Structure 1
Amino acid sequence: MTQSTASFSMRSVALAAFLPAALFAVGEGAIIPIIPVASDSLGASLALSAFVAALILVGELVGDIPSGWLVARTGERPAMIGASLVAVVGLVVCLVAPNVAVLSVGIFLVGLATAVFALARHAFMTTFVPPEIRARALSSLGGVFRFGYFVGPFLSAGVIRLTGSTQSAFWIDIVACLAAAAVLVLVKDPGAELRERTLRDPAAPLSTGEVEVKRESEGLFPTLWRYRGLLVKLGSGAALIGAMRSGRQVILPLWAVSIGIGSSETALIIGIAGAIDFGLFYTSGWIMDRWGRMWSAMPCMVGLGISYLVLSVTHALPANVTWFIGVAMFMSLANGVGSGILMTLGSDLADKDDPAPFLGAWRFTGDFGSAAAPLVISGLTALVSISLASGVMGVLGFIGAAILLRYVPRYAPHRPRKAAALS
């Protein structure tokens, strides 16, 4: 494929893939920092607020199971539109929730919708982006996601400051999801001709992306069993990477509630931290290609582990707000250095002739850790304290680093490229 053809292909899917993804990510980035604050305003305890915040990730984990079948059944683009509308329903429930139980239902629905949207988005890129430029396109898509998590909290901070209501942040996500659905409806579908053929002939083959996500989903549990040795060893490290990352999304806003920081200030701090994370997504890939996966994974896990441990001893300090801000920034630095590590390891480990089943199992393993960590934080906060919960997460970070140090060189050894390829 020539460069001009590649450029044309990228242009043809940019609006249909990147813009809806950016809008969806901005909306989700706007609500994640304020979920514990919204729970607290409805009378939830600190531990219950952590549990409610965890439900968006639990919803994503549950949604991973049927989403491949759903995307294959409806198509990538209709699935993204439907997921955006389901998210709007969940957000309206959150907006009008009279109590924590109703808020929990809304947050869970948003998580389910996020799983379907993410998988449909991946299938869309697999189908319509040529293999020659797919890695760059998927890397750019990851950057779009981080861009949303950078911009969203700033929008929340501004809207909350203007309205004086924490719940007003849900309106940002509602508008963002509706805008994403509108773009998907209005922008020309690169797969329109394929979709027309499929509707005329139900026996027509699925698109490349639809086949991939369908096989990922249908073969999930047999694949988990088939690769149980690898998934118990290196997969446990992947699960802990997911846990450390998702844990920060819960513990930072929860910590802000516990030390009395306002909702708009919390969103602003997390937004600034998101800028650091966003700025490092390309650097992480360069590090992995230049020196190997370990040079990204280890600083990420050790840095996150240190962050949790430092946070755990600062709750009662006079300068606890200053410490909180510093830890939030350092957490984002550590997380940014590890951008793309799970997807990269998954690609390294998957069968090159038949990658889909393993990639589905690998993603599920990481998502399991992502969903479990906030529940651990919630339980430990309820039983003991948020400080102990943070300390335990810090220890898990070092355990994860040790697992990765043991098994990444065995299963995904680095093969240096020629100097010319790295320049």
Structure 2
Amino acid sequence: MSSDGGSGAPWRSLTTAIYLPTAVSFIGFGAIVPLVPLTARALGASVAEAALVVALMGIGGFVGALPAGVIADRFGEKKSLVGALFVDVSCLLVCAFAPNTWVLAGAVFVTGLSGAMLSLARQSYLTVAVPLTHRARALSTLGGVFRIGSLLGPLMGAAVVSLWGLQAAYLVAAGTSLLAASVTMALPDLPMPEHEPDQPVRMMQVLRQHAHTYATAGVGAAALMLVRTSRDALLPLWCEQIGLDATATSLVFALSSGIDMTLFYLGGSVMDRFGRRWVSVPAMVIMGACFAVLPLAHSVLAVALFAAILGLGNGISAGVVMTIGSDASPAIGRPQFLAGWRLTTGIGQAAGPLLITAIAAVAPLGVAALTIGAIGLTGAGWLWRWVREPAAQPR
């Protein structure tokens, strides 16, 4: 098996060592995310301070993107995964017994850092371990596992809190991360690159060498992330604006998320068979068009229809951003490249809710929806222009 994804064991054989621990740890992570602001409030934080504590997790993930690439290159993907999971265990235990908001905030921030490490190392490992012919399915399945964890995690957290309280949820999450670390140790080691570099690979050197990729395909992928995350902010706000109550809003969002969660493997199969453009571009067109016409939805049925179609666009595009990045990654300096890729796309991920907030502060919410729709439709053309399909490799 070459370092570029040559022949090797079928990628499904990685289910136990990659997908199972990812699912287990992400369910635990999903369980505690809604509880962090409640814990901060219980420790005496104001509403604004509690919101800041929650934001620190995302900030940690953003700040940790480039260091994660350096660590993965230095220690390898497997050791980085195991180490990050043990850091997660420590942080969750600190959260469980935090004596004040500052300690909680620090632990949450470090959890964001370890999350960046986990995301990058999983992507880098699958890029190398899985044959190119199955790469999109492997990475789309990873994206699907994230979605499943996001759905099941809060349900588990609610059950644990109702029985044993807030602290117990963090202890259970620490247990899931510990279990995930134990299972991850069974990962087979990746082969060494066929050609070792004469000099250590420098992060800034890799970023400069691939600046054009970040500025072209990376910008398109960032736009896709922006449109995706806009659903989470815009859909509930629109439901509230047209007078739907919290129950109806939750059901509409559950419909969108349910459809989203069932389509990840279909999107991966299409990418592997026909190319990355045939998922990334239609997904952007579907989501962009939905946001553009969302201001016409004034009933629960209309909003539910648009939410379902948004779920379709988001679902088929699971893993496409990781796949495009993996396709573009070099054999030497891959972790550093993927770190830069995650930083680029992370800007888009963070920009969606911020853009909606900024527009809604000065204009009707419908203008925000039209703006996101325009970005989606423009981004579709950008992706068609700049996404490069990987060259076929002999098996």
TM-score range, shorter chain: 0.7 to 0.9
Report the equivalent of 1:110: 111
Matched, 1:401 2:384: no
**More displaced 10-residue stretch of structure 1: 231-240 or 269-278:** 269-278
Structure 1 segments unaligned to the other structure (5+ residues): 195-205, 418-423
Report the equivalent of 2:85: 84
Matched, 1:365 2:344: yes
Distance 1:227 1:167 in 2: 45
Classify the secondary structure of the residue corresponding to 1:60.
Answer: helix
The verdict on how the C-alpha distance between 1:73 and 1:393 changes in structure 2, with shifts beyond 3 A counting, is farther
The verdict on how the C-alpha distance between 1:8 and 1:310 changes in structure 2, with shifts beyond 3 A counting, is closer
Report the equivalent of 1:175: 175
The verdict on how the C-alpha distance between 1:123 and 1:302 changes in structure 2, with shifts beyond 3 A counting, is closer
Between structures 1 and 2, the one with greater helix share:
1
Displacement of 1:135 in angstroms is 5.3
Displacement of 1:71 in angstroms is 2.5
Report the equivalent of 2:184: 184
Displacement of 1:284 in angstroms is 1.6
Displacement of 1:288 in angstroms is 3.8
Matching residue within 223, 232, 235 for 2:218: 235
Classify the secondary structure of the residue corresponding to 2:188.
Answer: coil
Matched, 1:300 2:277: no
Report the equivalent of 2:227: 244
Report the equivalent of 1:155: 156
Distance 2:130 2:68 in 1: 21
Residues 243 and 369, structure 1, Cα contact 8 Å, conserved in 2: yes
Aligned partner letter, 2:384:
P
Residues 305 and 398, structure 1, Cα contact 8 Å, conserved in 2: yes
Distance 1:208 1:21 in 2: 25
Report the equivalent of 2:73: 72
The verdict on how the C-alpha distance between 1:401 and 1:15 changes in structure 2, with shifts beyond 3 A counting, is same
Residues 140 and 318, structure 2, Cα contact 8 Å, conserved in 1: no
Residues 229 and 349, structure 2, Cα contact 8 Å, conserved in 1: yes
Distance 1:36 1:146 in 2: 21
Residues 127 and 326, structure 2, Cα contact 8 Å, conserved in 1: no
Distance 1:207 1:66 in 2: 21
The verdict on how the C-alpha distance between 1:374 and 1:176 changes in structure 2, with shifts beyond 3 A counting, is farther
Report the equivalent of 2:317: 338
Report the equivalent of 1:202: none
Residues 350 and 358, structure 1, Cα contact 8 Å, conserved in 2: yes
Aligned partner letter, 1:184:
T
Report the equivalent of 1:21: 22
What are the equivalent positions in structure 2 for 1:149-298 lying under 5 Å apart?
Answer: 149-160=150-161, 162-163=162-163, 169-185=169-185, 188-191=186-189, 207-208=192-193, 219-249=202-232, 261=246, 273-288=256-271, 293-298=276-281
Question: Aligned-residue CA RMSD in angstroms?
Answer: 4.8
The verdict on how the C-alpha distance between 1:109 and 1:357 changes in structure 2, with shifts beyond 3 A counting, is closer
Q: Note the alpha carbon deviations across 1:373-400, whole angstroms, 9 max, x for none.
A: 44556x649x939974x85365134224
Aligned partner letter, 2:107:
G
Distance 1:328 1:190 in 2: 41
Residues 127 and 208, structure 1, Cα contact 8 Å, conserved in 2: no
Q: Note the alpha carbon deviations across 1:85-121, whole angstroms, 9 max, x for none.
A: 2223333444456776555433322211111112222
Report the equivalent of 1:412: 387
Displacement of 1:32 in angstroms is 4.0
**More displaced 10-residue stretch of structure 1: 20-29 or 66-75:** 66-75
Report the equivalent of 1:119: 120
Displacement of 1:280 in angstroms is 0.6
Classify the secondary structure of the residue corresponding to 1:150.
Answer: helix
Displacement of 1:48 in angstroms is 6.7
TM-score, length basis structure 1: 0.68
Distance 1:293 1:130 in 2: 16
The verdict on how the C-alpha distance between 1:171 and 1:254 changes in structure 2, with shifts beyond 3 A counting, is farther
Aligned partner letter, 1:190:
P
Distance 2:168 2:367 in 1: 33
The verdict on how the C-alpha distance between 1:374 and 1:44 changes in structure 2, with shifts beyond 3 A counting, is farther
Distance 2:169 2:316 in 1: 29
Aligned partner letter, 1:369:
G
The verdict on how the C-alpha distance between 1:167 and 1:396 changes in structure 2, with shifts beyond 3 A counting, is farther
Report the equivalent of 1:203: none
Q: Note the alpha carbon deviations across 1:189-226, whole angstroms, 9 max, x for none.
A: 533xx9xxxxxxxxxxx8459x89x98xx554444444
Q: Using the aligned pairs only, state the percent identity.
A: 34
Distance 2:125 2:292 in 1: 40
Residues 159 and 168, structure 1, Cα contact 8 Å, conserved in 2: yes
Matching residue within 368, 371, 386 for 1:392: 368
Distance 1:238 1:223 in 2: 19
Structure 2 segments unaligned to the other structure (5+ residues): 2-6
Distance 1:165 1:255 in 2: 33
Distance 1:98 1:253 in 2: 34
